Chains A and B, each alone.
Chain A
Amino acid sequence: GENVEQHPSTLSVQEGDSAVIKCTYSDSASNYFPWYKQELGKGPQLIIDIRSNVGEKKDQRIAVTLNKTAKHFSLHITETQPEDSAVYFCAASTPLSGGYNKLIFGAGTRLAVHP
């Protein structure tokens, strides 16, 4: 079945450093790759996404890269701040009939940014 692997499971960085989270997916039909941030006690929130016709997308300190050939995509956070501390999930879409899609989630990465 479809699968998304996410690494690392935990990541600890100093404030101001960069953080990188990597994911691989198995379904070659996947064409949409969102990233979610989950703060303690809250639901996951979409922070950035990328579609398969784009190799890279950036939004301020956050960027996502996609390598369709290798079925890899990554989240890059630069100049990390304590408020970036959270659990991050990657996901890959799997098409369903009728034009609908289902997201397959990675297991999550707990990022801790230390002042």
Chain B
Amino acid sequence: NAGVTQTPKFQVLKTGQSMTLQCAQDMNHNSMYWYRQDPGMGLRLIYYSASEGTTDKGEVPNGYNVSRLNKREFSLRLESAAPSQTSVYFCASSGTGAYGYTFGSGTRLTVV
């Protein structure tokens, strides 16, 4: 049981480049989330998808787009990377109702 799988684990981008962070879960969860975590800071919600076919903005959506490809997969895209987007990105998923999230192991992104 893999849980939540994120790829890649590490990435270095130049300013202005684009990339897509991939996330897949195998727990048949309805809801999926993208967070960023900056050094010494907590988890800030970028976007979430409560169910397949829906996406909504979180606290810090600027500079990002998301796609809920199917029930398993939720991708995060940076169209034009900026140094301020240097962070660790976590994907998470949860079942319907008030349940805890299962997090992936993160993608460490550096934009130079």
B25 vs chain A, min Cβ distance (A): 13
Task: Say which one of A12-20, A57-65, A76-84, A97-105 lies at the interface with B.
Answer: A97-105
Q: Are A51 and B98 in contact (CB under 8 A)?
A: yes
The answer to whether B96 touches A106 (Cβ under 8 A) is no
Chain A's interface size range is: 20 to 34
Q: Mark A36-78, 1 if CB is under 8 A from B, else 0.
A: 1000001111100101000000000000000000000000000
CB-based contact A43/B41 at 8 Å: no
Are B50 and A100 closer than 8 Å at their CB atoms? yes
Contact with A along B1-35 (1 / 0, CB 8 A): 00010000000000000000000000000110100
Answer whether residue B60 sits at the interface, using C-beta atoms and an 8 A cutoff.
no
Minimum CB–CB distance for B65 against chain A, Å: 19
Q: Tell me the A residues contacting B by CB distance below 8 Å.
A: 31-32, 34, 36, 42-46, 49, 51, 89, 91, 93, 95-103, 105-108
B interface with A by C-beta (< 8 Å)? 4, 30-31, 33, 41-43, 45, 48, 50-51, 90, 94, 96-106
